[in-house]
Structures are given as C-alpha cells and as structure tokens.
C-alpha cells in the first residue's frame, strides 16, 4: 500500500498535489522529507536560475566608501546609446543571493535595467555596519539612486524594489528624499523591525535572533580576509576584474568592525542601544514622517501567514493615509511560491496566483507609475479557507461588527459570567509547529495542519457554533484578566476554527511579553488596538499574585468561518522553538479571572458574501 508521503512525493514530481490523505496523517519527519524534493524549492523560488550580471562594479559614496553593485540590462539593450528606467534593490544577503528572489527577467522584458547593490559592511562592499538599517544606509541608498539617475543610459526614473530585508530598505528609501525615486515595491517586509520581527509583542523571536547571528558571522568572512581559498566558499560575488579576490578580501577586512549579531539578543526595549542606533530608529515606522512627505507610490505585498508581513503592510497603509498605495495580502510562503492557507489539508501546495504571477504584478505596478498612472489606495486580500479575493479602500472593510464574547470556564459566552477563576500551569512544550508563521522568515514553507495534534497543553475556550457563514476580517482583540506567580513571562493567544468533525484550524494569534503590557491609554480600552511604546520608561515588571488587565491585539486576518463551525481561543505561555516562557527553569502558573469587566474577546465579523 502506498504511504501518504510516497503518494505526495509522486504527485509533487508530477505537478499535482491532490490526495485523500488528511492533515493529521503528516508527521514532522514526513513533512521534512517532502522538502527534499528539488521541484518544491523551484516552486517556491522561481528565480533560482538568475541571469549573469552584465556588469559588476564598485560605486563610491560621498565619504569615499565603495559599495558593490550588479547591473542587468534588458536583452538587446545598448547602454552607450539606449535609455531606460531602472529598479534598484539593496541587499545584505549578497547580490547573488538576492538575485534568486528578484524578477530580473520580468523587469528586463518590460525594458527596465535592474541594479542589485550591497549595503556597506556586507559582501563585496567596503565599510562596516554599526546598526540595522541606519540613517547612514539610507543616505547611501539615496546616493546610489543619484548615481543610477546620472548614468548615460538612465531616463532619470527609478523604482526601489525589495523582498524581505531588502524590502525594509526599499521602504526606507521612500523617505530618503531622492528626487529620482518615483515608485517602490515592498514585498514581505517588516515595517516595524522591533515589534513586527525580532520582538513581536516585546517577546524575543528566537528564530530571527539566530538568523541575525548567522548573517553577521557570515559577513565577517571567516578566513577569507587572509586565506584566498576560503573566499570562494562564502558565495559572495566579487566585482568585475577582481579575479584574485583582493578587493573582496579588503572589503571583508572592513567587516570585522561590524556590529556582532549576538548584540541583538541583549535587547529588551525598543530604545535599547544597538551599535550607533536603536531598533526603534530603523524601518519605515521610524521614518514615517519622511515616508509621508515623500509620497512615493508603493505596492506592498504580504501574506497572512508570513511572519507579521500582513500587519506591516496594514500598519503602513494606516499610518501613511495620503500616500498612494496598493496593498496585496495573499496566503503564501515568504518567497511566495507555496500555499500557506491553514485550512489546506495538504502540505506545500503551489500558491495561487503563482510567484511568477505575483511578481508580474509588481512589474506592472512599476510600469504604471513610471508611465504616469494615478495609483488609488486599496487593500486587496484573499479570504482564508476560500479562493476569493476582495478589495477595500479602507481597513477594516465596511460592514464589520465587533462581536463580544466573555471568557468563562472553558467557554466563550455572549452573556456576562459569574465571577470565577481558573488556574493554568504554562507548558513549555506547547508549540505552533515547525512550519508556522514564525518559520516562514527562516525560509521554511508553511503548514499548520490539524491543531488537534499540536503538542503541549493549552487553556482553551470554545464559542457557540456559527448560525450562518461569517467573514472574520480585521484584528480580533483579547482583554485578559490575569495574575502570575512570576515577575515576567509571555502570553500567546491563538484564535482557531473548530469544524463540526472536530478539525482545529489555526487562524491567527497574539503575543505579549508581560513586561511590555503598559498601553498608551487605559488597559482594555473599548477602542481597538493597543498602542505600546515598548520603551524602557514603560517597562512594568509583574508583581506575583496581582491581577492585571492585559490587552492583546491579534494579528490581522481574513477567513471564512462557516455555519456550524466554532471559534476557539487557546492560551499558552510558550511556543517551543520560537518563544520561550522567559521564566527560566520554573514554569509560570497563571490565574485567569472571569466576570463583568474581566476577560473578554472581541472578533470583527461581517456576513459572508463573495
């Protein structure tokens, strides 16, 4: 008898992933085995076979530091006589690595020149990096844009593009004041590097912090600065003419002065010093005033399940209300090629639309803006559990009503319950899995499967079955009356869909480090959206035994909740592998309080229509 794994592998190789196996059939080992299929990697990274650069060179900055860049001209383009618009991407992963997530051929077919640069302190660029996405880097990018605009082949119109970290840079470029910058494509970005990436809800994101360690160690170059043979193993691309790697070795010698990746782990607050700046001074949210003033039209692409990229896109839409913007939120992996809809019962399906179609939309956006088109503000999003895409000019969309439920013993109730409490001991083995939203930005695919099988013990509360199909769209919010026997810790709240047959589907979650629970207004204010500074002045250690009102805004989502399905709220104090409990070897014990003005859940719903 053919196992579900062998069947999936065969179907994947044949280009089809339709199978009768249920989600509960797949173990972590089977999912990991699926990832060994090379066709899956090419599905998720459709630009792995990037073309060879037409030219690679160093560009000198105003302070004399030389930054590496690769140029890709359209087929048949003569830079001595022809003119074209250009797109510019800034990289810290290396020009060759970022070429694998850049639609070079698509932009080339549209008649545009592609330039991929490397930030100072990285790969073949000289200089050192003393922070993350500092003002110095944005100044460098403005200088690169000016250099591109001054080239004899340039028509003076440039778009900033990026994916992942390079999209964070593209976002900041829109506030750089560079006159030639006319458009931006910001794909899978983190608008707030502290709260949307490294420290969601103030809790250390162990996967991303480990990535920072690895990345900075890689750019330190190991023995490349002294042993020639070591340079070839790094994967960095030298500029043209540097056949003996002398320039690369000299650049890597500069990188020895870079910020160490381990310094990110020492941060607790947004305003903690990190080299010459803070995480609070990096990213688009830190430069929102200049982003607004620049008014550069942007296409911001994200996924409901890819880290907090959807939250980043919607925060940018909200905080820059006058900037022309197309927000596109799908249900894909970080590169965009694989499906990430948690309602899927099969792992690692091809995304729809495909990654090629998604990136083609980026190219079309740039063509429209550079051609003089007016960009209307809109949020275009897929509804999880369906193949339906919707469009709204406002967020949340019109017609949404916040449905209030009160927590009682193991239930969500429309009526206010009698005063009571329940105790819960945090289970450090509780996990969202190896292939959830927090794994996405580590380059892993996404598959939640049936949450009935998720390891660990959580404190759960079930609502009543829906009496009609509903669209859950926006950001639910939890007000939790809670005490702990520890002075710190994290609270993770999961919102899940429970089908009549018992299948439990992940929808979204909220995370908060209790040290950062202080809000700008009163806790659990009726107005949605807890505003937190995450700054040291607002830190609030927990007094063991004291009851707290803790406000947790869930990450935004759009999902179809079908008739007879129930919503489930599950609470945990750890997510093994991604977020630990922050209480050392001692697991916290919580007391959750019920009754009037205590624990309650607000969920944004509207009647389903397509």
Residue 275 has pLDDT above 60, yes or no: yes
So what's the pLDDT on residue 131? 86
- Cβ neighbours of residue 154 under 8 Å, at least 6 residues apart? 83, 84, 85, 86, 113, 148
Task: Tell me the average pLDDT across 126-141.
Answer: 92
Residue 258 has a CB neighbour count (10 Å cut-off) of: 21
pLDDT tens-place string over residues 92-102: 988 988 998 89
So what's the pLDDT on residue 394? 98
Instruction: Give the pLDDT band (50/70/90) at residue 14.
Output: very low
Task: Tell me the average pLDDT across 443-457.
Answer: 92
Helices (H), 545-605: none
Least confident of 117-126, 520-529, 577-586: 520-529
So what's the pLDDT on residue 19? 35
Residue 2 has pLDDT above 60, yes or no: no
So what's the pLDDT on residue 143? 98
Task: Tell me the average pLDDT across 10-27.
Answer: 45
In this structure, what are the phi and psi dihedrals at residue 329, rounded to the nearest 5 degrees? -120, 115
Percent of residues in the chain assigned helix, strand, coil, to nearest 5: 25, 25, 45
Q: Which of 300, 320, 298, 299 is CA-nearest to residue 309? A: 300
So what's the pLDDT on residue 289? 95
Q: Which of 411, 425, 507, 498 is CA-nearest to residue 460? A: 411
The tokens describing 555, both together, are 């990450």
Q: Which of 508, 464, 479, 517 is CA-nearest to residue 600? A: 479
Q: Which helix (H) or strand (E) holds 183?
A: strand 181-187
Instruction: Give the pLDDT band (50/70/90) at residue 581.
Output: confident
Q: Which of 432, 442, 329, 465 is CA-nearest to residue 388? A: 329
So what's the pLDDT on residue 22? 40
So what's the pLDDT on residue 73? 98
pLDDT tens-place string over residues 373-386: 999 999 999 999 99
Instruction: Give the pLDDT band (50/70/90) at residue 6.
Output: very low
Residue 11 has pLDDT above 70, yes or no: no
Q: What percent of the chain has pLDDT over 70?
A: 95
pLDDT tens-place string over residues 197-221: 999 999 999 999 999 998 888 888 8
Task: Tell me the average pLDDT across 336-357.
Answer: 94
> How far out from the chain centre does Cα 350 lie?
20
Residue 352 has pLDDT above 50, yes or no: yes
Q: How far apart (Å, rounded) are the C-alpha atoms in residues 291 and 177?
A: 9
pLDDT tens-place string over residues 38-59: 888 888 888 888 899 999 999 9
So what's the pLDDT on residue 232? 72
Q: Which of 35, 31, 36, 39 is CA-nearest to residue 15? A: 39
Residue 24 has pLDDT above 70, yes or no: no
In the three-class reduction of DSSP (H, G, I as helix; E, B as strand; rest coil), residue 453 is classed as helix
So what's the pLDDT on residue 241? 96
Residue 20 has pLDDT above 80, yes or no: no
Least confident of 295-304, 444-453, 461-470, 570-579: 444-453
End-to-end CA distance of the chain: 41
Q: Please list the residues that pair with 491 across neighbouring strands.
A: 512
So what's the pLDDT on residue 43? 85
Contact 306, 441 (CB under 8 A): yes
Instruction: Give the pLDDT band (50/70/90) at residue 306.
Output: very high
Residue 9 has pLDDT above 60, yes or no: no
pLDDT tens-place string over residues 499-542: 999 999 999 999 999 999 999 887 787 555 678 999 999 999 99
pLDDT, averaged across the chain: 92
The tokens describing 604, both together, are 């944004």
Q: How far apart (Å, rounded) are the C-alpha atoms in residues 193 and 168?
A: 9
Q: How far apart (Å, rounded) are the C-alpha atoms in residues 362 and 160?
A: 11
Contact 164, 334 (CB under 8 A): yes
So what's the pLDDT on residue 528? 54
């Amino acid at each position: 008898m053919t196992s579900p794994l062998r069947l999936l592998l065969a179907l994947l190789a044949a280009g089809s992933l339709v199978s009768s196996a249920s989600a509960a059939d797949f173990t972590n080992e089977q999912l990991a085995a699926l990832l060994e299929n090379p066709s899956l990697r090419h599905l998720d990274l459709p630009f792995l076979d990037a073309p060879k650069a037409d030219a690679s060179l160093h560009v000198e900055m105003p302070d004399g530091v030389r930054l590496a860049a690769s140029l890709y001209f359209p087929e048949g383009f003569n830079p001595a006589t022809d003119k074209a618009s250009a797109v510019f991407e800034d990289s810290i992963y290396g020009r060759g690595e970022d070429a694998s997530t850049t639609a070079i051929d698509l932009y080339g077919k549209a008649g545009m020149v592609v330039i991929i640069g490397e930030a100072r302190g990285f790969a073949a660029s000289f200089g050192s990096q003393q922070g993350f996405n500092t003002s110095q880097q944005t100044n460098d990018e403005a200088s690169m844009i000016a250099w591109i605009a001054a080239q004899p082949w340039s028509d003076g119109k440039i778009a900033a593009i990026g994916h992942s970290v390079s999209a964070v840079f593209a976002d900041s470029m829109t506030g750089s004041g560079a006159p030639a910058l006319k458009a931006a494509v910001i794909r899978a970005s983190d608008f707030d590097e502290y709260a949307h990436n490294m420290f969601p809800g103030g809790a250390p994101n162990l996967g991303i912090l480990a990535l920072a360690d690895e990345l900075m160690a890689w750019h330190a170059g190991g023995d490349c600065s002294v042993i020639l043979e070591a340079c070839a193993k790094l994967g960095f691309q030298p500029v043209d003419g540097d056949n003996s790697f002398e320039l690369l070795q000299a650049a890597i010698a500069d990188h020895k002065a870079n910020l160490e990746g381990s310094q990110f782990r020492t941060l607790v607050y947004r305003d903690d010093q990190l080299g010459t700046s803070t995480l609070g001074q990096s990213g688009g949210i830190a430069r929102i005033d200049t982003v607004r003033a620049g008014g550069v039209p942007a296409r911001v692409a994200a996924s409901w399940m890819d880290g907090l990229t959807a939250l980043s896109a919607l925060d940018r839409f909200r905080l820059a209300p006058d900037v022309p913007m197309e927000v596109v939120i799908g249900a894909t992996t970080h590169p965009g090629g694989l499906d990430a809809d948690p309602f899927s019962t099969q792992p690692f399906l091809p995304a729809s639309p495909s990654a090629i179609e998604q990136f083609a939309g980026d190219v079309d956006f740039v063509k429209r803006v550079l051609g003089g088109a007016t960009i209307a503000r809109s949020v275009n999003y897929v509804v999880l559990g369906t193949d339906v895409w919707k469009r709204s000019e406002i967020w949340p969309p019109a017609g949404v009503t916040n449905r209030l439920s009160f927590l009682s013993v193991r239930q969500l109730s429309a009526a206010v319950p009698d005063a009571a409490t329940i105790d819960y001991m945090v289970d450090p083995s509780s996990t969202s899995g190896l292939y959830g939203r927090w794994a996405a930005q580590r380059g892993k695919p996404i598959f939640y499967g049936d949450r009935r099988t998720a390891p660990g013990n959580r404190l759960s509360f079930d609502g009543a079955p829906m009496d009609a199909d509903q669209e859950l769209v926006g950001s639910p919010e939890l007000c939790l009356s809670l005490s702990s026997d520890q002075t710190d810790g994290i609270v993770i709240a999961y919102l899940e869909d429970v089908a009549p047959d018992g299948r439990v589907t992940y929808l979204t979650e909220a995370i908060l480090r209790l040290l950062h629970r202080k809000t700008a207004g009163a806790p659990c204010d009726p107005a949605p959206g807890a505003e937190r500074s995450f700054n040291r002045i607002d830190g609030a250690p927990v007094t063991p035994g004291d009851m707290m009102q803790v406000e947790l805004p869930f990450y935004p989502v759009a999902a179809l909740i079908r008739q007879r399905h129930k919503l489930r709220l599950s609470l945990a104090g750890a997510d093994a592998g991604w977020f630990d409990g922050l209480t050392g070897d001692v697991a916290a014990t919580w007391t959750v309080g019920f009754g009037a003005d205590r624990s309650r859940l607000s969920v944004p719903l509207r009647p389903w229509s397509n």
